[in-house]
């Protein structure tokens, strides 16, 4: 047995755990399924324990495997950084970018601009994953993410692309039937829809000027983990909701929704391009960042 670590088997182990099957991992790493199986068997023999429980239909990490997977993932990330630094010698951005983005924003504003990017950079591939849940860039193996938030301090590297406002909105039919609130406290008795993934979704904060602040705990009959899911009830005139400008803009422009209590403001967030590190960042990531800055720094959804 070699005194050197079995880097290949550890990398295969990490890929099998990520993909959830030997066959999918084999396709990703360009090996045959038997070769992948031999790598895992070799690793288990070397380490003295099983890393997977498996049968003909299922595969799952053992407790031993779970204790090792983060170490294997970190090893793979470090190796990828080494290779990425080496590829910096090439002037042409190339390779795969694993990009995470919020669901509604990704569908509305990221997907439509990808064709131009892919035409400009034919040697770059995009693996775009959409989810409204905050993804773990490092643990999930992502190269970058778009995030819409008021970002806390973290070890991530974030570049602000643009400001993102939020509006309290309702359909004209709701306003006609229930009246137009003139103060945030009027919302306490209203049917207010909640977006589950918004930070502190159970509290809405409002400010007027520099000293006046009001906090409202909205109550309503619908709570969803995607803001788009609130639209049918909202447009039917059955409730009030808080929506980000990139969703609300088109409805405010055509009058299907109206902004309420516009003289009270909520803390504005931003659209950020986030990466795990700026150290040895491949040129492909910088190419995507620069493109998104160009296309999204002055977004088309602004209202009014």
pLDDT class of 100 with cuts at 50, 70, 90:
very high
pLDDT of residue 136: 86
Q: Which of 45-49, 55-59, 97-101 is the most confident on average?
A: 97-101
At residue 276, does pLDDT exceed 80?
yes
Mean pLDDT within 190-216: 81
Check residue 247 and give its pLDDT. Answer: 94
What value does the mean pLDDT take over residues 161-165? 92
Mean pLDDT score, 235-247: 95
Closest CA to 14 of 57, 46, 52, 49: 52
Cβ atoms of residues 128 and 106 within 8 Å: yes
Cα of first residue to Cα of last residue in the chain, in angstroms, is 69
pLDDT score for 210: 74
pLDDT value of residue 200: 59
**pTM, rounded to two decimals:** 0.68
User: Cβ of 192: how many Cβ atoms within 10 Å?
Assistant: 21
**Could you tell me what percentage of the chain is helix, strand and coil, using 3-state DSSP and rounding each to the nearest 5?**
40, 25, 35
């Amino acid at each position: 047995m070699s005194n050197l670590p079995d880097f290949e088997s550890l990398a295969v182990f990490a890929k099998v755990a990520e993909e959830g099957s030997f066959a999918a991992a084999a396709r990703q790493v360009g090996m045959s399924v038997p070769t992948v199986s031999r790598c895992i068997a070799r690793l288990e023999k070397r380490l003295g324990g099983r890393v997977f429980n498996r049968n003909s239909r299922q595969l799952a990490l053992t407790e031993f495997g779970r204790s090792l997977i983060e170490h294997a993932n970190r090893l793979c990330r470090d190796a990828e950084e080494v290779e990425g630094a080496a590829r910096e010698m090439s002037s042409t951005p190339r390779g795969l970018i694993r990009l995470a983005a919020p669901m509604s924003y990704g569908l509305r504003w990221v997907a439509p601009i990808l064709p131009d990017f892919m035409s400009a950079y034919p040697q770059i591939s995009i693996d775009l994953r959409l989810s409204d849940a905050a993804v773990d860039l490092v643990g999930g193996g992502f190269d970058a993410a778009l995030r819409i938030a008021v970002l806390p301090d973290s070890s991530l590297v974030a570049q602000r692309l643009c400001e993102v406002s939020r509006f309290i909105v309702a359909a004209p039919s709701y306003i006609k039937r229930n009246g137009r609130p003139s103060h945030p406290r009027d919302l306490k008795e209203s049917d207010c829809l909640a977006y589950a993934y918004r930070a502190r979704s159970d509290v809405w904060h409002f400010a007027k000027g520099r000293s006046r602040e009001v906090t409202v705990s909205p109550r309503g009959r619908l709570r969803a983990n995607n803001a788009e899911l609130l639209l049918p009830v909202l447009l039917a005139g059955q409730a009030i909701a808080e929506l980000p400008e990139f969703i609300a803009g088109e409805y405010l422009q055509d009058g299907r929704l109206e902004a309420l209590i516009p003289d009270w403001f909520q803390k504005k967030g931003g659209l950020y391009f986030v990466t795990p590190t700026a150290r040895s960042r491949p040129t492909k990531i910088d190419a995507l960042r620069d493109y998104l800055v160009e296309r999204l720094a002055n977004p088309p959804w602004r209202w009014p």
